[in-house]
Protein backbone atom coordinates (compact mmCIF):
# COMPACT_ATOMS: atom_id res chain seq x y z
CA UNK A 1 0.00 0.00 0.00
CA UNK A 2 1.14 3.50 -0.85
CA UNK A 3 -0.35 6.65 0.68
CA UNK A 4 -0.56 9.59 -1.76
CA UNK A 5 -1.44 12.79 0.09
CA UNK A 6 -2.55 15.98 -1.61
CA UNK A 7 -2.16 19.15 0.44
CA UNK A 8 -4.68 21.97 0.42
CA UNK A 9 -7.40 23.64 2.42
CA UNK A 10 -10.93 22.17 2.46
CA UNK A 11 -14.00 23.94 1.14
CA UNK A 12 -15.09 25.70 -2.04
CA UNK A 13 -13.58 29.00 -0.86
CA UNK A 14 -10.08 27.58 -1.31
CA UNK A 15 -10.64 25.17 -4.20
CA UNK A 16 -8.87 27.26 -6.85
CA UNK A 17 -6.02 28.51 -4.62
CA UNK A 18 -2.37 28.01 -5.54
CA UNK A 19 -1.98 26.37 -2.11
CA UNK A 20 -4.45 23.68 -3.24
CA UNK A 21 -2.55 22.29 -6.21
CA UNK A 22 -1.85 19.16 -4.12
CA UNK A 23 -5.60 18.49 -3.92
CA UNK A 24 -5.83 19.07 -7.68
CA UNK A 25 -3.08 16.53 -8.36
CA UNK A 26 -4.64 13.70 -6.34
CA UNK A 27 -8.06 14.48 -7.84
CA UNK A 28 -6.47 13.96 -11.27
CA UNK A 29 -4.97 10.63 -10.13
CA UNK A 30 -8.39 9.47 -8.88
CA UNK A 31 -10.00 10.33 -12.23
CA UNK A 32 -7.24 8.88 -14.38
CA UNK A 33 -7.07 5.53 -12.57
CA UNK A 34 -10.75 5.01 -11.77
CA UNK A 35 -10.51 5.13 -7.99
CA UNK A 36 -13.44 4.36 -5.72
CA UNK A 37 -15.51 7.42 -4.70
CA UNK A 38 -14.08 9.78 -2.10
CA UNK A 39 -15.38 9.21 1.42
CA UNK A 40 -14.81 10.83 4.78
CA UNK A 41 -11.98 9.05 6.56
CA UNK A 42 -8.76 9.83 8.48
CA UNK A 43 -9.73 13.45 9.26
CA UNK A 44 -10.17 14.04 5.55
CA UNK A 45 -11.40 12.53 2.31
CA UNK A 46 -9.89 9.26 1.11
CA UNK A 47 -10.21 7.15 -2.02
CA UNK A 48 -8.69 3.73 -2.65
CA UNK A 49 -7.61 2.27 -5.96
CA UNK A 50 -4.89 0.59 -7.99
CA UNK A 51 -2.20 2.36 -10.01
CA UNK A 52 -0.24 0.12 -12.37
CA UNK A 53 -0.80 -2.87 -10.10
CA UNK A 54 0.00 -1.08 -6.83
CA UNK A 55 -2.61 -0.43 -4.14
CA UNK A 56 -2.81 3.28 -3.40
CA UNK A 57 -4.81 5.28 -0.88
CA UNK A 58 -5.36 8.91 -1.85
CA UNK A 59 -5.89 11.37 0.99
CA UNK A 60 -6.98 15.00 1.12
CA UNK A 61 -6.78 16.20 4.75
CA UNK A 62 -9.79 18.21 5.90
CA UNK A 63 -7.90 19.68 8.86
CA UNK A 64 -6.67 22.81 7.07
CA UNK A 65 -3.07 23.01 5.95
CA UNK A 66 -1.31 23.57 9.28
CA UNK A 67 -2.86 20.40 10.80
CA UNK A 68 -2.33 18.11 7.79
CA UNK A 69 -0.12 15.77 9.80
CA UNK A 70 -3.03 14.56 11.92
CA UNK A 71 -4.76 13.07 8.88
CA UNK A 72 -1.54 11.64 7.44
CA UNK A 73 -0.59 10.02 10.76
CA UNK A 74 -4.06 8.47 11.13
CA UNK A 75 -3.90 6.88 7.69
CA UNK A 76 -0.28 5.77 8.06
CA UNK A 77 -0.97 4.17 11.44
CA UNK A 78 -4.08 2.41 10.16
CA UNK A 79 -2.19 0.81 7.26
CA UNK A 80 1.04 0.38 9.28
CA UNK A 81 3.04 2.37 6.74
CA UNK A 82 6.45 3.86 7.34
CA UNK A 83 7.33 7.29 6.00
CA UNK A 84 8.92 5.93 2.81
CA UNK A 85 5.48 4.70 1.66
CA UNK A 86 4.02 8.23 1.92
CA UNK A 87 4.10 10.58 -1.08
CA UNK A 88 2.98 14.19 -0.49
CA UNK A 89 1.93 16.46 -3.38
CA UNK A 90 2.31 20.14 -2.50
CA UNK A 91 2.76 23.64 -3.88
CA UNK A 92 6.35 24.86 -4.11
CA UNK A 93 7.17 28.58 -4.17
CA UNK A 94 10.84 27.95 -4.95
CA UNK A 95 10.11 26.28 -8.29
CA UNK A 96 8.95 28.11 -11.42
CA UNK A 97 5.35 27.51 -12.48
CA UNK A 98 4.77 24.16 -14.23
CA UNK A 99 7.98 22.59 -12.90
CA UNK A 100 8.08 19.46 -10.76
CA UNK A 101 10.71 17.99 -8.44
CA UNK A 102 10.60 14.86 -6.31
CA UNK A 103 12.68 14.46 -3.19
CA UNK A 104 12.79 12.38 -0.03
CA UNK A 105 13.23 14.10 3.30
CA UNK A 106 14.93 17.46 3.51
CA UNK A 107 13.69 20.83 4.70
CA UNK A 108 10.16 22.18 4.69
CA UNK A 109 10.95 25.67 3.32
CA UNK A 110 8.37 27.27 5.56
CA UNK A 111 5.49 25.12 4.28
CA UNK A 112 3.04 24.64 7.14
CA UNK A 113 1.57 21.45 5.71
CA UNK A 114 4.97 19.80 5.49
CA UNK A 115 5.88 21.04 8.97
CA UNK A 116 2.78 19.38 10.41
CA UNK A 117 3.43 16.10 8.57
CA UNK A 118 7.06 16.01 9.71
CA UNK A 119 5.93 16.63 13.29
CA UNK A 120 3.61 13.61 13.12
CA UNK A 121 5.43 10.99 10.99
CA UNK A 122 9.04 12.15 10.79
CA UNK A 123 10.82 13.67 7.84
CA UNK A 124 11.56 10.71 5.57
CA UNK A 125 8.44 10.83 3.40
CA UNK A 126 8.62 11.68 -0.30
CA UNK A 127 7.54 15.04 -1.66
CA UNK A 128 6.27 15.89 -5.14
CA UNK A 129 7.00 19.61 -5.33
CA UNK A 130 4.66 21.31 -7.80
CA UNK A 131 6.04 24.69 -8.84
CA UNK A 132 3.77 27.70 -8.49
CA UNK A 133 6.45 30.40 -8.68
CA UNK A 134 7.18 33.14 -6.16
CA UNK A 135 5.48 36.55 -6.13
CA UNK A 136 8.88 38.17 -5.65
CA UNK A 137 8.03 39.94 -2.39
CA UNK A 138 8.19 37.97 0.83
CA UNK A 139 5.49 40.01 2.56
CA UNK A 140 2.83 39.00 0.04
CA UNK A 141 3.59 35.25 -0.05
CA UNK A 142 0.68 34.40 2.28
CA UNK A 143 -1.83 36.29 0.12
CA UNK A 144 -0.29 34.84 -3.04
CA UNK A 145 -0.65 31.17 -2.06
CA UNK A 146 -4.19 31.75 -0.75
CA UNK A 147 -5.35 33.41 -3.98
CA UNK A 148 -6.67 31.57 -7.00
CA UNK A 149 -4.57 30.67 -10.00
CA UNK A 150 -4.99 33.28 -12.72
CA UNK A 151 -7.06 32.29 -15.73
CA UNK A 152 -3.86 32.25 -17.81
CA UNK A 153 -2.35 29.69 -15.42
CA UNK A 154 -5.12 27.13 -15.71
CA UNK A 155 -3.86 25.34 -18.85
CA UNK A 156 -0.46 24.52 -17.32
CA UNK A 157 -2.00 23.64 -13.93
CA UNK A 158 -4.33 21.16 -15.61
CA UNK A 159 -1.51 19.80 -17.80
CA UNK A 160 0.81 19.35 -14.79
CA UNK A 161 -1.83 17.52 -12.76
CA UNK A 162 -2.70 15.28 -15.72
CA UNK A 163 0.97 14.49 -16.37
CA UNK A 164 1.41 13.58 -12.70
CA UNK A 165 -1.66 11.32 -12.91
CA UNK A 166 -0.49 9.66 -16.11
CA UNK A 167 2.85 8.77 -14.51
CA UNK A 168 1.69 8.07 -10.94
CA UNK A 169 2.57 4.39 -11.30
CA UNK A 170 6.24 5.35 -11.34
CA UNK A 171 5.83 6.99 -7.92
CA UNK A 172 4.04 3.92 -6.60
CA UNK A 173 6.98 1.83 -7.82
CA UNK A 174 9.54 4.14 -6.22
CA UNK A 175 10.91 5.34 -9.58
CA UNK A 176 10.94 8.99 -8.54
CA UNK A 177 13.60 10.24 -10.96
CA UNK A 178 11.83 8.60 -13.91
CA UNK A 179 8.52 10.12 -12.81
CA UNK A 180 10.11 13.55 -12.63
CA UNK A 181 11.65 13.19 -16.08
CA UNK A 182 8.46 11.87 -17.69
CA UNK A 183 6.40 14.74 -16.29
CA UNK A 184 8.99 17.25 -17.49
CA UNK A 185 8.94 15.77 -21.00
CA UNK A 186 5.13 15.73 -21.04
CA UNK A 187 5.04 19.40 -20.08
CA UNK A 188 7.58 20.29 -22.75
CA UNK A 189 5.53 18.41 -25.34
CA UNK A 190 2.51 20.51 -24.38
CA UNK A 191 4.52 23.71 -24.71
CA UNK A 192 5.00 24.45 -21.01
CA UNK A 193 8.38 25.03 -19.39
CA UNK A 194 11.77 25.56 -20.94
CA UNK A 195 15.08 23.89 -20.18
CA UNK A 196 15.06 21.81 -17.03
CA UNK A 197 17.42 22.81 -14.21
CA UNK A 198 18.23 19.26 -13.23
CA UNK A 199 16.88 16.68 -10.82
CA UNK A 200 16.72 16.83 -7.08
CA UNK A 201 16.84 20.57 -6.48
Active site residues: 19
Q: At what angle do helices 68-79 and 112-121 cross, to 10 degrees?
A: 40
Q: In Å, how far from its chain's centre is CA 45?
A: 15
CA dihedral 114, 115, 116, 120 (to 10 degrees): 100
CB burial string 132-171: b at 16+ within 10 A, e below: bbbbeeeeeeeebbeeebeeebeebbebbbbbbbbbbbbb
d(CA 186, CA 143): 30
Question: What's the alpha-carbon Rg for the chain, to the nearest Å?
Answer: 15
**E-state strands within the chain:** 2-6, 39-41, 44-51, 54-61, 86-92, 100-104, 126-131
Q: Which of 97, 20, 94, 102 lies closest to 60, judged by CA?
A: 20
Amino acid sequence: MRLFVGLGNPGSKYAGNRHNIGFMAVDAIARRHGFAPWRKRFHGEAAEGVVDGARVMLLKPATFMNESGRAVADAANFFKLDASAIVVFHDELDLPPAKVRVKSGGGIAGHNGLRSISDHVGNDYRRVRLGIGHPGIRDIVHAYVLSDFAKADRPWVEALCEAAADNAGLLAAGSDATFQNKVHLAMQAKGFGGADEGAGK
